[in-house]
Structure 1
Protein backbone atom coordinates (compact mmCIF):
# COMPACT_ATOMS: atom_id res chain seq x y z
CA UNK A 1 0.00 0.00 0.00
CA UNK A 2 2.99 2.33 0.51
CA UNK A 3 3.54 4.64 -2.41
CA UNK A 4 -0.03 4.35 -3.70
CA UNK A 5 -1.61 7.71 -4.51
CA UNK A 6 -4.83 8.48 -2.65
CA UNK A 7 -7.89 8.72 -4.86
CA UNK A 8 -9.91 11.95 -5.08
CA UNK A 9 -12.70 10.20 -3.14
CA UNK A 10 -10.29 9.20 -0.33
CA UNK A 11 -8.97 12.75 -0.12
CA UNK A 12 -12.49 14.21 -0.06
CA UNK A 13 -13.45 11.79 2.71
CA UNK A 14 -10.31 12.73 4.67
CA UNK A 15 -11.18 16.42 4.39
CA UNK A 16 -14.73 15.66 5.54
CA UNK A 17 -13.35 13.67 8.49
CA UNK A 18 -11.04 16.55 9.45
CA UNK A 19 -13.99 18.98 9.48
CA UNK A 20 -16.13 16.56 11.48
CA UNK A 21 -13.27 15.96 13.94
CA UNK A 22 -12.66 19.70 14.29
CA UNK A 23 -16.33 20.24 15.13
CA UNK A 24 -16.35 17.43 17.69
CA UNK A 25 -13.13 18.73 19.25
CA UNK A 26 -14.58 22.25 19.43
CA UNK A 27 -17.64 20.87 21.25
CA UNK A 28 -15.35 18.98 23.65
CA UNK A 29 -13.34 22.17 24.15
CA UNK A 30 -16.50 24.12 24.99
CA UNK A 31 -17.55 21.52 27.54
CA UNK A 32 -14.05 21.48 29.03
CA UNK A 33 -13.82 25.28 29.20
CA UNK A 34 -17.28 25.51 30.76
CA UNK A 35 -16.04 23.54 33.81
CA UNK A 36 -13.96 26.62 34.73
CA UNK A 37 -16.59 29.20 33.75
CA UNK A 38 -14.93 29.94 30.42
CA UNK A 39 -15.80 29.58 26.77
CA UNK A 40 -13.38 27.99 24.35
CA UNK A 41 -12.73 31.42 22.82
CA UNK A 42 -11.81 32.84 26.24
CA UNK A 43 -9.62 29.82 26.91
CA UNK A 44 -7.80 30.33 23.61
CA UNK A 45 -7.18 34.02 24.26
CA UNK A 46 -5.93 33.30 27.80
CA UNK A 47 -3.63 30.67 26.36
CA UNK A 48 -2.22 32.84 23.58
CA UNK A 49 -1.25 35.63 25.99
CA UNK A 50 -0.01 33.30 28.74
CA UNK A 51 3.63 33.29 27.62
CA UNK A 52 3.90 36.99 26.86
CA UNK A 53 1.57 39.98 26.83
CA UNK A 54 0.22 40.69 23.34
CA UNK A 55 -1.84 43.39 21.73
CA UNK A 56 -5.28 42.36 20.54
CA UNK A 57 -4.17 42.43 16.87
CA UNK A 58 -1.13 40.26 17.69
CA UNK A 59 -3.33 37.75 19.55
CA UNK A 60 -5.80 37.70 16.66
CA UNK A 61 -3.04 36.97 14.14
CA UNK A 62 -1.71 34.10 16.24
CA UNK A 63 -5.19 32.63 16.62
CA UNK A 64 -6.11 33.19 12.98
CA UNK A 65 -9.28 35.12 13.82
CA UNK A 66 -10.47 38.69 13.46
CA UNK A 67 -9.22 41.50 15.68
CA UNK A 68 -12.82 42.41 16.51
CA UNK A 69 -13.53 38.91 17.79
CA UNK A 70 -10.46 38.90 20.02
CA UNK A 71 -11.26 42.44 21.24
CA UNK A 72 -14.71 41.32 22.39
CA UNK A 73 -13.30 38.24 24.13
CA UNK A 74 -10.43 40.24 25.69
CA UNK A 75 -12.90 42.79 27.08
CA UNK A 76 -14.95 39.93 28.57
CA UNK A 77 -11.81 38.47 30.19
CA UNK A 78 -10.91 41.85 31.67
CA UNK A 79 -14.45 42.26 32.98
CA UNK A 80 -14.25 38.77 34.57
CA UNK A 81 -10.93 39.61 36.22
CA UNK A 82 -8.98 36.99 34.23
CA UNK A 83 -6.96 39.53 32.25
CA UNK A 84 -5.92 43.17 32.32
CA UNK A 85 -4.72 45.73 29.83
CA UNK A 86 -1.25 47.16 30.38
CA UNK A 87 0.65 49.99 28.73
CA UNK A 88 2.49 49.03 25.57
CA UNK A 89 5.88 50.75 25.43
CA UNK A 90 5.97 50.23 21.63
CA UNK A 91 2.55 51.71 20.86
CA UNK A 92 0.61 53.98 23.21
CA UNK A 93 -2.71 53.41 21.46
CA UNK A 94 -2.54 49.62 21.53
CA UNK A 95 -2.26 48.23 25.07
CA UNK A 96 -1.14 44.67 25.71
CA UNK A 97 -3.34 42.03 27.28
CA UNK A 98 -1.89 40.25 30.31
CA UNK A 99 -3.17 37.49 32.56
CA UNK A 100 -4.13 38.19 36.14
CA UNK A 101 -3.52 35.65 38.89
CA UNK A 102 -7.17 34.55 38.52
CA UNK A 103 -6.71 34.16 34.78
CA UNK A 104 -3.54 32.13 35.18
CA UNK A 105 -5.32 29.93 37.73
CA UNK A 106 -8.35 29.38 35.45
CA UNK A 107 -6.08 28.63 32.50
CA UNK A 108 -4.11 26.11 34.55
CA UNK A 109 -7.24 24.32 35.70
CA UNK A 110 -8.86 24.12 32.27
CA UNK A 111 -5.59 23.00 30.67
CA UNK A 112 -5.22 20.27 33.30
CA UNK A 113 -8.79 19.11 32.65
CA UNK A 114 -8.15 19.11 28.89
CA UNK A 115 -5.02 17.01 29.38
CA UNK A 116 -7.08 14.44 31.33
CA UNK A 117 -9.75 14.36 28.62
CA UNK A 118 -7.14 13.99 25.87
CA UNK A 119 -5.54 11.07 27.71
CA UNK A 120 -8.94 9.38 27.92
CA UNK A 121 -9.74 10.14 24.29
CA UNK A 122 -6.45 8.74 22.98
CA UNK A 123 -6.01 5.91 25.50
CA UNK A 124 -6.44 3.19 22.87
CA UNK A 125 -4.66 4.96 20.00
CA UNK A 126 -1.07 3.81 19.47
CA UNK A 127 1.58 6.54 19.67
CA UNK A 128 2.70 5.70 16.13
CA UNK A 129 -0.76 6.54 14.78
CA UNK A 130 -0.84 9.85 16.65
CA UNK A 131 2.61 10.71 15.30
CA UNK A 132 1.60 9.76 11.74
CA UNK A 133 -1.62 11.77 11.94
CA UNK A 134 0.24 14.82 13.26
CA UNK A 135 2.82 14.50 10.51
CA UNK A 136 0.13 14.38 7.82
CA UNK A 137 -1.74 17.35 9.29
CA UNK A 138 1.47 19.41 9.63
CA UNK A 139 2.30 18.69 5.97
CA UNK A 140 -1.21 19.70 4.97
CA UNK A 141 -1.01 22.91 7.01
CA UNK A 142 2.38 23.74 5.51
CA UNK A 143 0.99 23.35 1.99
CA UNK A 144 -2.13 25.37 2.80
CA UNK A 145 0.04 28.12 4.27
CA UNK A 146 2.26 28.09 1.17
CA UNK A 147 -0.78 28.43 -1.10
CA UNK A 148 -2.27 31.24 0.98
CA UNK A 149 1.03 33.13 0.86
CA UNK A 150 1.26 32.63 -2.91
CA UNK A 151 -2.27 34.03 -3.26
CA UNK A 152 -1.41 36.98 -1.00
CA UNK A 153 -4.00 35.89 1.56
CA UNK A 154 -1.60 35.54 4.45
Structure 2
Protein backbone atom coordinates (compact mmCIF):
# COMPACT_ATOMS: atom_id res chain seq x y z
CA UNK A 1 0.00 0.00 0.00
CA UNK A 2 1.38 3.39 -1.01
CA UNK A 3 1.93 6.08 1.59
CA UNK A 4 1.67 8.77 -1.09
CA UNK A 5 -1.34 11.04 -1.23
CA UNK A 6 -3.38 11.13 -4.45
CA UNK A 7 -1.69 14.44 -5.35
CA UNK A 8 1.77 12.98 -4.71
CA UNK A 9 0.96 9.93 -6.85
CA UNK A 10 -0.26 12.15 -9.68
CA UNK A 11 2.81 14.39 -9.46
CA UNK A 12 5.05 11.31 -9.50
CA UNK A 13 3.21 10.04 -12.58
CA UNK A 14 3.86 13.42 -14.23
CA UNK A 15 7.57 13.21 -13.38
CA UNK A 16 7.82 9.68 -14.83
CA UNK A 17 6.05 10.76 -18.04
CA UNK A 18 8.41 13.74 -18.38
CA UNK A 19 11.43 11.44 -17.94
CA UNK A 20 10.10 9.19 -20.71
CA UNK A 21 9.24 12.12 -22.97
CA UNK A 22 12.70 13.61 -22.37
CA UNK A 23 14.37 10.41 -23.55
CA UNK A 24 12.16 10.27 -26.62
CA UNK A 25 12.76 13.95 -27.39
CA UNK A 26 16.52 13.39 -27.24
CA UNK A 27 16.17 10.46 -29.65
CA UNK A 28 14.03 12.54 -32.01
CA UNK A 29 16.45 15.46 -31.73
CA UNK A 30 19.34 13.16 -32.60
CA UNK A 31 17.43 11.99 -35.69
CA UNK A 32 16.58 15.55 -36.75
CA UNK A 33 20.12 16.83 -36.26
CA UNK A 34 22.16 13.84 -37.50
CA UNK A 35 21.99 14.77 -41.22
CA UNK A 36 24.05 17.90 -40.51
CA UNK A 37 26.51 16.21 -38.16
CA UNK A 38 24.93 17.25 -34.88
CA UNK A 39 23.34 15.60 -31.85
CA UNK A 40 20.58 16.90 -29.58
CA UNK A 41 23.19 18.21 -27.14
CA UNK A 42 25.13 20.00 -29.87
CA UNK A 43 21.94 21.40 -31.35
CA UNK A 44 20.93 22.79 -27.94
CA UNK A 45 24.28 24.55 -27.49
CA UNK A 46 24.08 26.07 -30.98
CA UNK A 47 20.53 27.22 -30.23
CA UNK A 48 21.68 29.06 -27.10
CA UNK A 49 24.58 30.86 -28.77
CA UNK A 50 22.49 31.68 -31.84
CA UNK A 51 21.30 34.65 -29.77
CA UNK A 52 24.89 35.81 -29.36
CA UNK A 53 28.23 34.54 -28.10
CA UNK A 54 28.24 33.31 -24.51
CA UNK A 55 30.59 31.69 -22.03
CA UNK A 56 30.34 27.96 -21.44
CA UNK A 57 29.13 28.70 -17.90
CA UNK A 58 26.32 30.93 -19.23
CA UNK A 59 25.28 28.28 -21.76
CA UNK A 60 25.25 25.67 -18.98
CA UNK A 61 23.07 27.88 -16.76
CA UNK A 62 20.64 28.53 -19.62
CA UNK A 63 20.37 24.81 -20.35
CA UNK A 64 20.30 23.72 -16.70
CA UNK A 65 23.34 21.48 -17.20
CA UNK A 66 26.75 21.02 -15.62
CA UNK A 67 29.43 23.33 -17.00
CA UNK A 68 31.75 20.38 -17.65
CA UNK A 69 29.31 18.61 -19.97
CA UNK A 70 28.69 21.82 -21.92
CA UNK A 71 32.47 22.38 -22.12
CA UNK A 72 32.90 18.93 -23.71
CA UNK A 73 30.10 19.62 -26.18
CA UNK A 74 31.48 23.08 -27.05
CA UNK A 75 34.98 21.64 -27.55
CA UNK A 76 33.57 18.98 -29.91
CA UNK A 77 31.61 21.65 -31.80
CA UNK A 78 34.77 23.75 -32.11
CA UNK A 79 36.75 20.73 -33.32
CA UNK A 80 34.13 20.16 -36.03
CA UNK A 81 34.07 23.85 -37.05
CA UNK A 82 30.53 24.67 -35.86
CA UNK A 83 31.70 27.15 -33.18
CA UNK A 84 34.81 29.07 -32.30
CA UNK A 85 36.15 30.52 -29.08
CA UNK A 86 36.53 34.29 -29.17
CA UNK A 87 37.92 36.82 -26.72
CA UNK A 88 35.61 37.94 -23.94
CA UNK A 89 35.87 41.69 -23.26
CA UNK A 90 34.47 41.15 -19.75
CA UNK A 91 36.73 38.31 -18.64
CA UNK A 92 40.32 37.49 -19.55
CA UNK A 93 40.15 33.71 -19.20
CA UNK A 94 36.50 32.80 -19.88
CA UNK A 95 36.29 32.91 -23.66
CA UNK A 96 33.01 33.25 -25.50
CA UNK A 97 31.59 30.46 -27.65
CA UNK A 98 30.47 31.89 -30.98
CA UNK A 99 28.70 30.34 -33.99
CA UNK A 100 30.70 29.97 -37.19
CA UNK A 101 29.08 30.24 -40.62
CA UNK A 102 29.06 26.41 -40.79
CA UNK A 103 27.37 26.25 -37.37
CA UNK A 104 24.73 28.76 -38.42
CA UNK A 105 24.00 26.83 -41.65
CA UNK A 106 23.70 23.55 -39.75
CA UNK A 107 21.44 25.13 -37.15
CA UNK A 108 19.11 26.57 -39.81
CA UNK A 109 18.80 23.16 -41.48
CA UNK A 110 17.92 21.50 -38.18
CA UNK A 111 15.44 24.27 -37.39
CA UNK A 112 13.71 23.66 -40.73
CA UNK A 113 13.51 19.91 -40.04
CA UNK A 114 12.24 20.65 -36.54
CA UNK A 115 9.52 22.99 -37.86
CA UNK A 116 7.95 20.31 -40.07
CA UNK A 117 8.35 17.63 -37.35
CA UNK A 118 6.71 19.90 -34.73
CA UNK A 119 3.86 20.79 -37.10
CA UNK A 120 3.23 17.10 -37.83
CA UNK A 121 3.25 15.99 -34.20
CA UNK A 122 1.61 19.12 -32.81
CA UNK A 123 -1.15 18.81 -35.38
CA UNK A 124 -1.88 15.28 -34.22
CA UNK A 125 -2.81 16.36 -30.67
CA UNK A 126 -6.03 18.17 -29.81
CA UNK A 127 -5.13 21.88 -29.38
CA UNK A 128 -6.86 22.19 -25.99
CA UNK A 129 -5.09 19.11 -24.66
CA UNK A 130 -1.72 20.35 -25.92
CA UNK A 131 -2.25 23.81 -24.38
CA UNK A 132 -3.31 22.26 -21.05
CA UNK A 133 -0.22 20.05 -21.04
CA UNK A 134 2.04 23.05 -21.63
CA UNK A 135 0.28 24.99 -18.89
CA UNK A 136 0.53 22.11 -16.42
CA UNK A 137 4.19 21.42 -17.11
CA UNK A 138 5.02 25.13 -16.94
CA UNK A 139 3.31 25.38 -13.55
CA UNK A 140 5.21 22.29 -12.33
CA UNK A 141 8.50 23.83 -13.55
CA UNK A 142 7.82 27.10 -11.74
CA UNK A 143 6.96 25.24 -8.52
CA UNK A 144 10.13 23.16 -8.83
CA UNK A 145 12.25 26.27 -9.39
CA UNK A 146 10.76 27.94 -6.33
CA UNK A 147 11.19 24.80 -4.22
CA UNK A 148 14.81 24.37 -5.30
CA UNK A 149 15.53 28.03 -4.57
CA UNK A 150 14.18 27.65 -1.04
CA UNK A 151 16.11 24.38 -0.56
CA UNK A 152 19.37 25.93 -1.82
CA UNK A 153 18.82 29.01 0.32
CA UNK A 154 18.36 26.79 3.36
CA UNK A 155 21.49 24.80 2.52
CA UNK A 156 23.59 27.96 2.16
CA UNK A 157 22.14 29.57 5.27
CA UNK A 158 22.79 26.57 7.50
Taking structure 2 as the reference length, the TM-score comes to: 0.88
- Match of 2:88, SS state, is coil
Provide the residue aligned with 1:80 in structure 2.
80
Provide the residue aligned with 1:52 in structure 2.
52
- Give CA-to-partner distance per residue, 1:28-77, whole Å, 9 cap, x none: 11111112110111111101111011001111111111111111111111
Gaps of 5+ in 2: 154-158
User: What is the rounded CA distance, in whole Å, between the counterparts of 1:93 and 1:15 in structure 2?
Assistant: 39
Number of matched residues? 149
Equivalent runs, 1:40-119 vs 2, <5 Å? 40-119=40-119
The alpha-carbon deviation at position 17 of structure 1 amounts to 1.6
Taking structure 1 as the reference length, the TM-score comes to: 0.90
The alpha-carbon deviation at position 8 of structure 1 amounts to 4.0
Gaps of 5+ in 1: none
User: What is the rounded CA distance, in whole Å, between the counterparts of 1:152 and 1:10 in structure 2?
Assistant: 25
User: What is the rounded CA distance, in whole Å, between the counterparts of 2:13 and 2:149 in structure 1?
Assistant: 26
- Match of 2:94, SS state, is coil
- Could you say which structure has the higher helix fraction? 2
- Give CA-to-partner distance per residue, 1:63-115, whole Å, 9 cap, x none: 11111111111111111111111110000101101101110010010111011
Is 1:130 the counterpart of 2:130 in the alignment? yes
